[in-house]
Amino acid sequence: MTADLRFDAGKITSLMPSQPQQDHLWNAHGALALPGLIEPHAHLDKTFTIGRSRPSNGSAGRH
């Protein structure tokens, strides 16, 4: 689903169908919105949410 999220005081206050780009909006096209305070370890490729992916430069875990 492609949608616009509205935030107020750090909380999502509405979810609506995508509108044309406006200057005061962040472009998060292709981003995934997940709720806070959840286990962030997710295998989205296994739920068919996204295709299988790997770090393009092989730098994951080098920090």
Tens of pLDDT, residues 17-57: 877 776 667 777 777 777 676 666 666 666 666 666 665 56
Q: CB–CB of 6/16 below 8 Å?
A: yes
Q: CB–CB of 13/6 below 8 Å?
A: yes
Amino acid identity of residue 6, one-letter, is R
> 11 or 34, which is more confident?
11
pLDDT score recorded for residue 2: 74
